[in-house]
Amino acid sequence: MSLVQLFHNPGAGDEEHSKENLMRTIEAQGFDCRYSSTKKRGWEKLDAEADFIVLAGGDGTVRKVASELLNRKLLEKKYPIALLPLGTANNVARTLGLNGTAEKLSESWWKAETKSFDIGILHGLDEPGFFLESFGYGLFPKLMKEMKKRQDELEDEDLSPEEELQLVLEILHDLVHKYEPKSFKLEIDGVDHSGEYLLVEIMNTRSIGPNLELAPAADPGDGYFDVVIITEKQRASLLDYLRKKRKGSKTPFACPTHKAKKVIVASDGLRAHMDDEYLKLKKSQEVKIEIQKGVLDFIIP
Final residue belonging to a domain, choices 90, 111, 132: 111
* 3-state class percentages of the chain: helix first, strand second, coil last, to nearest 5: 30, 35, 40
Q: What is the CATH number of the domain that holds 236?
A: 2.60.200.40
pLDDT of the residue at 1:
62
pLDDT of the residue at 175:
97
Q: Is the domain of 178 the same as that of 199?
A: yes
Final residue belonging to a domain, choices 81, 111, 141: 111
pLDDT of the residue at 207:
97
pLDDT of the residue at 77:
86
Helices (H), the chain: 19-28, 59-70, 91-95, 102-107, 139-149, 151-157, 161-178, 235-246
pLDDT tens-digit series, residues 76-122: 789 999 999 998 899 999 999 999 999 999 999 998 899 999 999 99
pTM over 0.85: yes
DSSP string, 148-187: HHTHHHHHHHT--HHHHHHHHHHHHHHHHHHPPPEEEEEE
pLDDT of the residue at 252:
95
pLDDT tens-digit series, residues 258-278: 999 999 999 988 899 999 999
Q: What is the CATH number of the domain that holds 102?
A: 3.40.50.10330
pLDDT along the chain (301 residues), means of 10: 93 85 96 96 93 96 95 81 94 95 94 95 94 97 92 74 89 96 97 98 97 96 98 97 96 94 94 96 94 96 85
Domain count for the chain, please give it. 2
Contact between 161 and 88 under an 8 Å Cβ cutoff? The reply is yes
